[in-house]
Chain A
């Protein structure tokens, strides 16, 4: 008699722990053939607020890490993903991707993490400056992370897009609350397990699954989210912009109708890191 396998209960990764939604709701995930695969947590607005709280707690410590340290942790995340590449490719195939396409997406995601790992101790040198002012001051501009960044991942390239959106934000010391693809949440569930084993402090990246329609209004209005990065439709962009105005939140939204190519060279960029940075200029006197 064949052995019945143990199936995994999908949980979301929030505050360094694997949790179910506080709402106790789930939605069924089916594989490409239409068969039941697992129940995915249907996170609530309260889950989002809890995740923001976890991100806020992790924020100062993560921002104070050295770039060298953050770089090594991002690299370690790449190592974890590489080591479980086959499992992740299977997760991507659930959404109907071919085996080759899924493998390609995993490989690109690993490479993306390595790309940003290398930026962690360099972006400051390129984006900051010493400014030649016409008075006796040492005037310099440094970058600082904005704080907590909301990430809204698209349904296409459910792993690569998610990684491409959160990696630049955490490279500079932001913490992230991300909403995974609604139709293909499983890669994000699996990614949470890799985040947990990558030396990344709990709360730096928090991954939620659920319905965009339910979650986006809170992403828009939560005042502790200082920036939103993601892919959104025209209606969603308008709603997000309206909510963002209340707390002068920074928006970096890609139009879903532009069909961004996450595999393109321009999908990874120093300027994606810049999108979640503030610039601070200090005037330090020169002279006794």
Chain B
């Protein structure tokens, strides 16, 4: 090995530390990427009906609403608007399927249907990814590499449980609950559907599910797969529409359990509306996660994780790392690196394979993000936004950093559900823990440090259902997900999640 040029200095014991920072590669506008659009056919229908009892049926009211592409505000398809009678028909179908078919079928046979669904979804993965991106606005690289494969993985994982339920609750026998009502959000439409449907079916329950009104298409495409898989009619039913349809699903007399993923605000409304019904519930609600960076963390890796933590899916993630807590001694360096990293984020056409941040899901959500960002400015936090060009049409929000944030600021307390990061600092481990836990939420947290023992110390002290160490926003069907405190109750995924879809007998 040749002698290093500084070896003589090293030999004298003097510091060889280079004081000049490593050059950052910032190309700015020097080169523009060529467009790289994904062109696979999403195979959309002009009109999507309700999926009840194994068939696509028109809503009794005959009413439909438009689902638009948030990237360009153009209409994609018409979606059936379910009424109370349609919701009732869906629950009746689910109960018939439960009583006569699904609850009597051996677990090993139920498993095969779920395996089939997983495989058929993998077959049509690209088509589903394109449909998801068109309907929801998320970058194609995320729907292609995360949403759809992870949805298939959830069906595959839970399929295998269906004939092994004796191992779910040691010491007790388990039985399905019956029919469950489920309402899911618009941030991961297909994936949330899979999270809800797969464990419910594996355990022997039947399902009536309502997707979010802005993102119904991939659930209804999943219904096509249910048909292709030969899933017995009524085992899974989809009803579409907005909040009042969700209320009808949650409030119906038939379901023994309701499962909801969405905001804490709506979760509380549902809990109140179900008071006195004695129905079982699981709630996966909002978050305001702390992503904690210690001074010994590998900072470049941490910056990637911070960016992934808050800008993944435009920040429309309940477990988004929306509060960055940085060790004071490295805060300036982290902020500088973050700003540089932001400058090369590509915001724009979700269908472009190079796009990092796509479109905000809806005009309504866009307004909410803007309102909270304005509050941040008004309350005195320092804002940095990447000055990129945004498409003229569609809902786009610049990736935004706030530094100098204090715990009392709205942007440090309220869930923004957008690409907005609030940066706070801390000096000691105890202060980091105190600040991280000082919230009504408790869904997730991130820890960045080189020290394994510190990871475990932090993970022990943080009041959150998921703790990511030196990574962020990782998911797996085998890994239970769910919150502490006002982030909800119950778990999804893993053996722990299955137990929330059964009763002990």
12 contacts across the A-B interface (CB closer than 8 A): A127-B496, A132-B478, A135-B476, A241-B274, A241-B276, A247-B440, A248-B488, A271-B172, A274-B499, A280-B464, A282-B469, A285-B470
Q: A248-B487, A280-B459 are in contact. List 8 more A-B contacts (CB 8 A).
A: A137-B471, A137-B474, A271-B169, A279-B482, A279-B496, A280-B467, A282-B459, A282-B467
Query: By the criterion CB–CB under 8 Å, are B276 and A234 in contact?
Result: yes
Q: Say how far B244's CB is from chain A's closest CB, in angstroms.
A: 19
Q: Mark B277-319, 1 if CB is under 8 A from A, else 0.
A: 0100001010000000000000000000000000000000000
A283 contacts the other chain (CB 8 A):
yes
Q: Mark B451-493, 1 if CB is under 8 A from A, else 0.
A: 0100110010000111111110010101111101111110100
Query: By the criterion CB–CB under 8 Å, are B504 and A271 in contact?
Result: yes
Question: A133-B476, A271-B169 in contact; A281/B275 too (CB < 8 A)?
Answer: no
Question: A278-B465, A281-B465 in contact; A248/B476 too (CB < 8 A)?
Answer: no
Query: By the criterion CB–CB under 8 Å, are A129 and B494 in contact?
Result: yes
Question: Which residue of B267, B468, B485 contacts A283 across the interface (Cβ within 8 Å)?
Answer: B468
Query: By the criterion CB–CB under 8 Å, are B271 and A248 in contact?
Result: yes
A255 contacts the other chain (CB 8 A):
yes
Query: By the criterion CB–CB under 8 Å, are A139 and B479 in contact?
Result: yes
**Residues of B close to A244: CB separation below 8 A:** 271
**Residues of A close to B323: CB separation below 8 A:** none
Query: By the criterion CB–CB under 8 Å, are A139 and B264 in contact?
Result: no
Query: By the criterion CB–CB under 8 Å, are B494 and A241 in contact?
Result: no
B21 contacts the other chain (CB 8 A):
no
Q: Say how far A237's CB is from chain B's closest CB, in angstroms.
A: 6
**Residues of B close to A126: CB separation below 8 A:** 170-171
B200 contacts the other chain (CB 8 A):
no
**CA gap between A112 and B45 in the complex, in Å:** 61
A residues apposed to B, CB below 8 Å: 126-127, 129, 131-135, 137, 139, 141, 226, 234, 237-239, 241-242, 244-248, 250, 255, 269-271, 274, 278-285
Give chain B's interface residue range (CB within 8 Å of chain A).
35 or more
Among B425-457, those with CB < 8 Å from A are 440, 452, 455-456
**Residues of A close to B55: CB separation below 8 A:** none
**CA gap between A244 and B268 in the complex, in Å:** 9
Question: A247-B486, A270-B171, A271-B169 in contact; A131/B478 too (CB < 8 A)?
Answer: yes
**Residues of A close to B469: CB separation below 8 A:** 282-285
Q: Say how far A227's CB is from chain B's closest CB, in angstroms.
A: 9
Query: By the criterion CB–CB under 8 Å, are B496 and A248 in contact?
Result: no
Q: Say how far A115's CB is from chain B's closest CB, in angstroms.
A: 12
**Residues of B close to A141: CB separation below 8 A:** 479-480, 494, 496
Q: Mark B38-72, 1 if CB is under 8 A from A, else 0.
A: 00000000000000000000000000000000000
Question: A131-B479, A241-B271, A270-B170 in contact; A248/B455 too (CB < 8 A)?
Answer: no
Query: By the criterion CB–CB under 8 Å, are B170 and A237 in contact?
Result: no
User: B264, B275, B466, B485: which has the most chain A beta carbons within 10 Å?
Assistant: B275
B210 contacts the other chain (CB 8 A):
no
B495 contacts the other chain (CB 8 A):
yes
**Residues of B close to A283: CB separation below 8 A:** 466-469, 471, 474, 479
Question: A269-B172, A279-B482 in contact; A238/B275 too (CB < 8 A)?
Answer: yes
